[in-house]
Homo-oligomer: A and B are copies of this chain.
Amino acid sequence: MSEIIEPRVLKGFRDYLPQDETARRALMEVLEKVFRSFGFVPIDTPALEYAEVLLGKGGGETDKQVYRFQDKGGRDVALRFDLTVPFARFMAEHVDELYLPFRRYHMAKVWRGENTQRGRYREFMQCDFDIVGTDSASADTDIILLIADAMAALDIGGFTVRVNHRGIFNRFLEGSGLREKSAAVLRLVDKLEKIGPGEVKRLLSAEIGEGVASKVLEFVTKEADFESTLAKIEAYAGGPADDTLRLREIWRNASEAGFPGKLELDPSITRGLDYYTGVVFETSLDAMPEIGSVCSGGRYDELASLYTTKRLPGVGSSIGLDRLLAALDALDKIKRRSGYTQVLVLAIEDGLSPSYHRIARALRAGGIAAEVFPEKRKLAQQFAYAEKKGISLAVILGADEASSGTAQLRNLATRQSVIVNLPSGDASLLVARAGELLAPPLP
């Protein structure tokens, strides 16, 4: 016998056991249903691409975290580190085979060699959705409505989508003579939630002087409602323009559609990335504000300028699946299950195995998930298996039942059994009875 290799995964990587994988899938299935109901379609792209395509010709901060290597053909390749860059490449390559405006969603793994000491994983699932090929308030609204309907579908309690517009902030900074300092100002404003207004003001004052710092803090402070906040920042930014009109349209669309949550205008939101040029937004859960945004995004002018001269404006968002899953878990809103089986057919007599399989197949044909315990073992062991797998009912068919043409259906929680007839081995009465026992009680 050769030496045993230690079974282990790389640091920052993890296995998904059934309890985790079923929960993750339950979340993804809800989201996918919402995406499809809004007309979004799925696409997929390769995990591995030319490094040049993913990283551009320059190379920058991102590069350090990327899994990059030479393949056996000597090509410089890399694992995708997000879904945005491959989507940009995808749109540039396939725009003539598609139709615009194009609404896509993509849920897939990405890889980053992050520092795992910060609790980060090196392999994780991203979930992106975008509408590309239009620069309209209607598309902005759709993304925000989709986020809200997804949160509602997840039954996660109250939530707030906070929006802002980069253009208004830029106009305000310019009007206040802060154009040169805008990077520093945005960086500090971004810390508002984390370090509080007092500290932000102190740091801002050191950067741009106390008077202007006060003005910045007034600008980024929310008023009582969306419309009064909008009126204030419009005034600070020098009056109405396309950007304020855009926010007004989004507000009107979303509120008339019946936005199922709170929609706030929060002038402090900037979403650091240079990439965004229009509306930006974040989503927080009322029950767990401390975990930060579970769904963020914004509008961009040029999705794919690295790969095409064709202008592809769009609006999109990304759901933090891991963060959202952790929240659903903490709020006890997601079912961790070790299996989907509803009925376990026990193995009592080897000679009755054909009957067990016939019964299980009849149950499945009746829409009930059923499995046969695959070998004769002590009943206590088979019940323990059923319990670990969260199975509700057991079919007991031993020599006695076989000779009387019956089977027992046992409720594994109450341990109560009912006897059902199997006339000439026909399982239809058993299937009907199992269906009744599995049906949720009437309210």
Contact = CB atoms under 8 A, between A and B. Distances in A.
A41 B15 contact: no
A163 to B, nearest CB: 15
B48 A111 contact: yes
A378 interface: no
Interface stretch (A217-225, A323-331, A369-377): A369-377
Chief secondary structure at chain A's binding surface: mixed
B21 A123 contact: no
A99 B389 contact: yes
Contacts of A138: 347, 353, 356-357, 372-375
Contacts of A347: 138
Contacts of A142: 357, 371-372, 374
B252 A354 contact: yes
Contacts of A21: 41-44
B139 A258 contact: no
Given A49-B10, A136-B375, A256 B358 contact: yes
B4 A307 contact: yes
Interface string A146-160: 000100000000000
A338 B39 CA distance: 10
A67 B57 contact: no
Contacts of A49: 9-10, 13
A257 interface: yes
B8 A50 contact: yes
B131 A4 contact: no
Interface string A35-46: 011110111111
B134 A360 contact: no
A5 B53 contact: yes
Given A123-B47, A149-B364, A338-B41, A7 B92 contact: yes
A421 interface: no
A77 interface: yes
A43 B16 contact: yes
Contact of A41 (B18, B47, B64): B18
24 contacts: A5-B52, A7-B89, A7-B90, A15-B43, A15-B45, A15-B93, A16-B43, A16-B45, A17-B43, A21-B42, A21-B43, A21-B44, A36-B369, A39-B339, A39-B341, A73-B113, A99-B384, A135-B375, A137-B353, A138-B372, A142-B371, A149-B364, A253-B354, A254-B357
